[in-house]
A and B are shown apart, each in its own frame.
Chain A
C-alpha cells in the first residue's frame, strides 16, 4: 500500500503505532518482571517491588530450587516425555497422514470422517480415564503420551501438505521399485521438512505443557512433570488450600523462588521460540486451509 501523507493519515499512523507498542509492552512486562524477580534476592524484591532490572543480582533462588533433586526429577520427566512423545506422535501421525493423502486409497473418506468427527464430539474426561485405567496405564509415563498421541488437527495439516506434493515424484519412485514406505521416507518426508518441523514443535510444546493428563493419570508424586510441580509450588502455596498438600509448619515459598520455578518451566519454550516463531505461524495457517 502507498504511504498516506495527509495530516489525518499521519496522526492515524502515529496513534496506531503508539497503541500497538503499548500492547506489546503489556504483553511482555509480566515475563520481564518474573525473570528479573527470579535473579534477585527476596530482600531486594521486598524493598523494591517494581523491579524490571534488579539492582542486586543474585542466584539464591536458583541455588535453593536446585538444592534438592525434586526439580531435576520433574525436569527429567518433562524432557523425556517431550522427546519420546514427540518422536512417537510424529511417526504415527506421518504414517496416517501419508496414507490418507493418497487419493487411490479405498476407504480414506470413512477414516477421514472418523477423524474429523472426534473434533466435534468426544467421550469426555471420565470415559477416557476409564479406558486409560483398563489399559493399565495409570502411573505409567505412557499415560502422558498415548491418550493424546495424535492430534486430529496436526494430522489434517500434515495430510493437506502431503497432498500438495506433485504425484509425478511418487510415480517415478514407484517405477524405480520403491514401495510405499520407501516413497514416504525417502521422497515425501524429505520434501516436507518445514511442515514436519512445524508439527513436531506443536507436539513438543503440547508435551512440555502437559498438565491435565498428569493429574488425571499419575498418582505418584515422584513421577510428576515440571508443570505439576510448578503448580504445587506456586498455586497451592499462594494462600489457597495450603493445608491439603503442604505442611502447615512449612512457610509458603518466597516470591523469588516461585519466579525462579516459573522461569525454569518456561525456559525451553523461550529458548526455541525466537527461532521457530515464523514456522509456528506458517503451521497455523496451513491448518486453516480447508481440506
Chain B
C-alpha cells in the first residue's frame, strides 16, 4: 500500500490521507482475518437466534398463517395491538404481572441486602463460608425442581406442611389449587431460590469499604447498627441502585418456567401472566400474531423502563447501568 504515502516535502492532501487510512484499515483487516473467522459462529448465532426473531416481530402486524409464511401472510396493521388493549383478559393478565412484579420489589429485593449486611457482621470465616455454601445452593436448582419440592411438601395427601397443620389442630389447606395461595407461594419460592445468591454482589461491595471508616465511627461511639446505617449502607448504595434498575427493566419478565409450572386451571385467574399467556395463546391455541404482539409489547415496555430508570438515576447523580 506504499502508493498512498505522500511525496517527500509536500503536505499530503486530505484525499491522499484518507486513501492512506483506507490502506491501513485494509491491512489491519487482513492481518486480523483469523479473528474475524473466530467471530463467525458467534455473530451467526446472534443473527439467527436473536435478530431473526426480532425481524419476526413483524408478524404482530399480520394475520400470520404458518403455511403462508411471513411473506405471504395478510397485513392487518395495528389490529392485533387493538385487540390486545380491548380484550378484558389482557387487562387481568397485565394486572397479575404487575402485582407479581410489585411483590418482587417489595418482598424479594430487600432480602439479599439485609442478608448480606447480617452476613458481614458475622465473626469467624468458618461460619460465614458454611452459611454461604448453604444459601447459594437453591440457585442452581431448576424451577422444575423447586416447584416439585414445593409440591411434595404442600400437597393435600401426605405433604409435610398439611400434616403439620393437622398436627397443630388446623384444617388442611389446598395450597396448589387455591388462588389466594398462589402469590405467597410464588414469592416464597423466589426468595428461597434467589436470596442467598443475590447476596454475592452486595458482599463484594461491602468488602471494598475502608475498615478505617468503622474504626473512626467506633471512636465516635457508634454502635454496630449505627455503623451499618451510616457506613455500610451508603457504601453499597450505588450497587443497590444499579440492581434496582436492572430489576425494573425486567418488570414484565417474571420467569416463564416458574409461573407456568405453578399454573393450573384453578388458579389461572391470578397466576396467568404475560409470559404464560403468550405460550397459551401462541403455542397451544395457534394465535401466532396475537401472542407475538403481546410479547412485543412486553419487550418494548422492558426496554423503555430500563432507559427511563437509567436516565433518572443518572439525573440523581448515580452511575446508571450504561
Which positions in A face B, CB cutoff 8 Å? 1-4, 6, 8-9, 12-13, 16-17, 19-21, 23-24, 27-28, 30-31, 33-34, 37, 45-46, 49-50, 92-93, 95-96, 98-100, 102, 104-106, 111, 114-116, 118, 120-131, 135, 146-150, 155, 179-181, 184, 205, 208-209, 211-212, 216, 227-228, 230-231, 234-235, 238-241, 255, 258-259, 261-262, 265-266, 269, 273-274, 277, 280-281, 284-285, 288
B271 to chain A, nearest CB (A): 11
Contact yes or no, A13 B123, CB < 8 A: yes
Is B180 positioned at the interface, with any CB of A under 8 Å from its CB?
A: no
Considering the chains assembled together, what is the distance between the CA atoms of A186 and B25 in angstroms?
28
Considering the chains assembled together, what is the distance between the CA atoms of A95 and B52 in angstroms?
22
Query: Which residue in A50, A126, A128, A277 is a CB contact (below 8 Å) of B136?
Result: A277
Considering the chains assembled together, what is the distance between the CA atoms of A269 and B146 in angstroms?
13
Residues of chain B within 8 A of A24, CB atoms compared: 130-131, 134-135
Contact yes or no, B46 A265, CB < 8 A: no
Is B19 positioned at the interface, with any CB of A under 8 Å from its CB?
A: no
CB nearest to B239 among chain A residues: A288
Contact yes or no, B35 A180, CB < 8 A: yes
B15-47 vs A, CB cutoff 8 Å, 1 = contact: the mask equals 000000000010011001011101101110110
B281 to chain A, nearest CB (A): 9
Residues of chain A within 8 A of B99, CB atoms compared: none
Contact yes or no, A238 B176, CB < 8 A: yes
Considering the chains assembled together, what is the distance between the CA atoms of A9 and B52 in angstroms?
59
Is B147 positioned at the interface, with any CB of A under 8 Å from its CB?
A: yes
Residues of chain B within 8 A of A17, CB atoms compared: 122, 127
Query: Which residue in B55, B141, B156, B283 is a CB contact (below 8 Å) of A266?
Result: B141
Considering the chains assembled together, what is the distance between the CA atoms of A281 and B41 in angstroms?
29
Contact yes or no, B302 A121, CB < 8 A: yes
B272-316 vs A, CB cutoff 8 Å, 1 = contact: the mask equals 000100110011000010011001101110110010000000000
Chain B: interface secondary structure? helix
Contact yes or no, B292 A131, CB < 8 A: no
Is B149 positioned at the interface, with any CB of A under 8 Å from its CB?
A: yes
B173 to chain A, nearest CB (A): 13
- Residues A269 and B141 in contact in the complex (CB < 8 Å), given A120-B306, A240-B264, A262-B152: yes
In this complex, which of A102, A238, A240 has the most chain B Cβ atoms within 10 angstroms of its Cβ? A238
Contact yes or no, B28 A96, CB < 8 A: no
Considering the chains assembled together, what is the distance between the CA atoms of A61 and B288 in angstroms?
43
Query: Which residue in B119, B149, B295 is a CB contact (below 8 Å) of A126?
Result: B295
CB nearest to B287 among chain A residues: A126
Residues of chain A within 8 A of B182, CB atoms compared: none
Considering the chains assembled together, what is the distance between the CA atoms of A128 and B136 in angstroms?
32
Number of interface residues of B (CB under 8 A): 102
Considering the chains assembled together, what is the distance between the CA atoms of A35 and B278 in angstroms?
36
Contact yes or no, A125 B249, CB < 8 A: no
Contact yes or no, A124 B163, CB < 8 A: no
> What are 7 A-B pairs at a CB distance below 8 A?
A23-B135, A27-B196, A31-B149, A96-B42, A123-B52, A265-B144, A284-B200
Considering the chains assembled together, what is the distance between the CA atoms of A34 and B147 in angstroms?
13
B178-216 vs A, CB cutoff 8 Å, 1 = contact: the mask equals 000000000000001000110011001000000100110
Contact yes or no, B144 A99, CB < 8 A: no
Residues of chain B within 8 A of A231, CB atoms compared: 144, 147-148, 261
- Residues A262 and B149 in contact in the complex (CB < 8 Å), given A19-B118, A20-B131, A255-B158: yes
Is B6 positioned at the interface, with any CB of A under 8 Å from its CB?
A: no
Query: Which residue in A16, A98, A230 is a CB contact (below 8 Å) of B122?
Result: A16
Considering the chains assembled together, what is the distance between the CA atoms of A265 and B147 in angstroms?
13
What are the nearest 5 A-B pairs in CB distance? A123-B53, A96-B42, A127-B56, A124-B295, A209-B142
Query: Which residue in A13, A92, A181 is a CB contact (below 8 Å) of B121?
Result: A13
- Name the interface residues of B258-278: CB closer than 8 Å to any CB of A: 261, 264-266, 275, 278
Residues of chain B within 8 A of A1, CB atoms compared: 211, 214
Contact yes or no, B50 A123, CB < 8 A: yes
